[in-house]
A and B are shown apart, each in its own frame.
Chain A
Amino acid sequence: MRSSLLRYYIILLLLASLVGVAFASVFVYYPIEVSVSPVGPPVYFEAGANAGGGDLAGNTIGVTVGSNGASLNVTLHPTYQKTYYKGVAKITNSDSNAYYITVRVVSTFLSLPSGSVALLRIYDGSSFYNVDLTSTGDTTIGQISAGASWRIDFYFYIPEGSTLPTSDSASVQLIYSPSAESPSSLP
């Protein structure tokens, strides 16, 4: 009887000591200071020379630039064969530093007829860089120098004889960085 009582106390003591070990945490506190000093966007969108101009069939070339030049919405009305829109928008670098530009196609046109071509074209003053709006992925454009302004054009080819969709859309990101490293995916 006494020995069984003794065994009972020993077991209780062991359990109590185990619980005590599990909760015995050590917290170490290091100070981290995050200072945020938001700045105006050094690279921004501007409307192009043909923004708001006449589009086909009595429509208008729709260009909406966000209030801080940090977003761009374009509405176009292409037709069969080749339709080219020159000078729809601009990318301007007002900084004293150069930035590397990458264009990422997040979502593509899905309803354009088979065989269609849809390109966002960036002209840096000497060369064109084509971004295929029917395929996701990154296109490295190059470095926009301080004070430079690049032109954004659009090109469409829609095969004759195909059925036109009512509308379609593509989503793109303009990514700029002072370094040449490939931009990561956003969470």
Chain B
Amino acid sequence: MLSTRFVYACVSVYYPVSVEVYPVESPVIFLDPGRSDVAVSLGPNSVSADVTVYASNVVDMLNNPDFYSGLDYWFCDPGDYLSCYWLSGDAGASGGVGDIYGYVEVANIYTVDDAYLLQFIRMPSSPVVGGVVNIVYKLYDAPYIYSSYFTVGFYDPQDGLVWESVGVVLSVSDAYKSTSISVDVSGLEPGREYIFFIHFVILVTLWSGYADFRVDYVQLTFNTQEYSFSGIGLKVNVTSGGPYYTRLVLRGWDLDPSLDCNITFINRDLTESTPIVIKDGAPVSLDTSEVDISIAPAGYSSGWIYLVLSKSDGVSRLTLEFQYYTVSGGGGANVTYPVTIVIDPVDGSGGGESLGGGYTQVIRDLELNLTSITILGIREVRM
């Protein structure tokens, strides 16, 4: 024993190890998605991010609200003389306009005719507590003696129920007018499909003539009971090298008990990771699966962090790691950037100005012949 210790006592072997580093500018950086409902504060090298997501209880319901390039998504239920068209432009309009137009003939003393511009909507899954219709319109032309108005409302094609506003009285004008109409949505069921309509009515007396009602813009927004957000929270761009393999890891949280949230990473090929899942204010899944990212063409981003969430109220805070590797599966160089996400509800209720009288909920035959609803043609602008 003694001799063994003696033999070993003085033997040490020295191997040289040299470690050289050549630091590089970060080949993957964050970008602000440029949304009004997302505030992003990036670090000086864009490799850290503080993101505030403003969850809203306002939901836009209409496709093609400005009729910009056509009557896409809009349909028509024509009257006896009136029908629906699209104008590519109009003085004072922001672009294309929807047009209810026709030559109303008076066979006896008077004629009443009407037509509908309408669009299918599906109610949000969260209960709706209010809504607003913002509409930009004008009565461009009418026969010599007339009385005219329009309403907005909803039609339930299953039950025949109609929710219709009081009429907005029209007079001929070259200028577009803007009106906000508060919507009473009691009775509209979450998740159900309804028809939203703009109903133009005209009473023509004695002399026949052209009626021309134009809509430049119509927006229908609902205020939901829950606050929600669905969209890009943070963009990611590859600036050199790659492909890289990314994933998100939830490291810390301070959550509102009502928060339901999915966070995924989506690359420019629309490959989406499995989500980080938060249910009822508790994390269920703490990381995403791996998704590859590479340099994107100019003007595009390589990928983005995508959030879908809903909550009743209260602020939630998440601390995440954005990780990327040079080798799939976590090998090679493994880089970690910090990301914090604050989910802050913004109250969007209030909305437009009520016209008084509110909505009337009635059951009547709207005479909508749904089977005949078509996308109508383009009418030349009659100056």
Contacts and interface: CB of A to CB of B under 8 A. Distances in A.
B22 A80 contact: no
A82 interface: yes
Interface stretch (A9-17, A27-35, A161-169): A161-169
Contact of B15 (A71, A165, A184): A71
B23 interface: yes
Interface string B146-184: 000000000000000000000000000000000000000
B19 A54 contact: no
B8 A170 contact: no
Given A79-B23, A168-B20, A169-B21, A45 B15 contact: yes
Contacts of A53: 326-327, 331-332
Interface residues of B, number: 39
Given A55-B326, A59-B24, A164-B23, A83 B48 contact: no
Interface string B1-39: 000010011011111111111111111000000000000
26 contacts: A56-B326, A56-B335, A58-B27, A59-B24, A62-B20, A76-B19, A76-B22, A77-B23, A79-B47, A80-B45, A83-B333, A85-B332, A86-B330, A167-B22, A167-B23, A169-B18, A169-B20, A169-B21, A171-B17, A172-B17, A172-B18, A175-B15, A176-B15, A179-B5, A179-B8, A183-B12
Interface of B: 5, 8-9, 11-27, 43-45, 47-48, 240-242, 326-327, 330-338
A53 B18 CA distance: 18
Given A58-B241, A59-B241, A156-B21, A77 B333 contact: yes
Interface in A149-187: 154, 156, 158, 160-161, 164-179, 181, 183-184, 186
A141 to B, nearest CB: 13
Given A81-B336, A84-B333, A179-B9, A73 B20 contact: yes
A50 interface: yes
Shortest 9 CB-CB contacts between residues of A and residues of B? A161-B44, A54-B326, A172-B17, A58-B241, A164-B23, A177-B12, A82-B336, A174-B15, A179-B8
